[in-house]
Amino acid sequence: MLKGFKQFILRGNVLDLAVAVVMGGAFGAVVTALVKDLLTPLIASVAKMPDFSTIAFQVNGSKFMIGDFINSLISFLLIAVAVYFFVIMPVNALVARLNRGEAPPDPTTKKCPECLSDVAIGAKRCAYCTSALPHGTRI
């Protein structure tokens, strides 16, 4: 019983997932601090209103907290911008730099000349329209 549990815990994808959760939590704290401590005060200095949470209206005794929603929306947008410019763009540039000079993989499909559907390179007939395909040529 314990042997199976040990194999489950030491399986690569379980450990990778555990590391990803821990790193995601730490990264979330860093991005939240970036937005809260740097980007939000920058917007507050330009907009002259650092907090929108006081904006609200009432209808039949129900209070609608529009300002709180605006604060959450601005935080979400700033976090998305921070993640894109400080994580996604650098990682994409790094991956592009690492893959520079590699030949693209050989295609695994070709187009049927009759129905223009994708068929396997080695196919003799189209699976969709059953027309005969030319042999040895890539279309």
Q: Tell whether 78 and 112 lie within a shared domain.
A: no
Distances (CA, A) of 96 to 81, 88, 91, 101, 114: 21, 12, 8, 10, 37
Predicted confidence (pLDDT) per residue in 49-102, tens digit: 666 677 788 999 999 988 778 777 877 887 788 788 888 899 889 888 888 888
Q: Would you state the structure tokens that stand for residue 84, as one six-digit string?
A: 């894109």
Q: Tell whether 58 and 124 lie within a shared domain.
A: no
Domain that holds residue 109: 105-139
Predicted confidence (pLDDT) per residue in 2-36, tens digit: 788 777 767 767 777 887 888 888 887 887 787 77
Do 69 and 51 touch, CB atoms closer than 8 A?
Answer: no
What is the three-class DSSP state of 27? helix
Q: Tell whether 67 and 25 lie within a shared domain.
A: yes
Q: Count how many domains the chain has.
A: 2
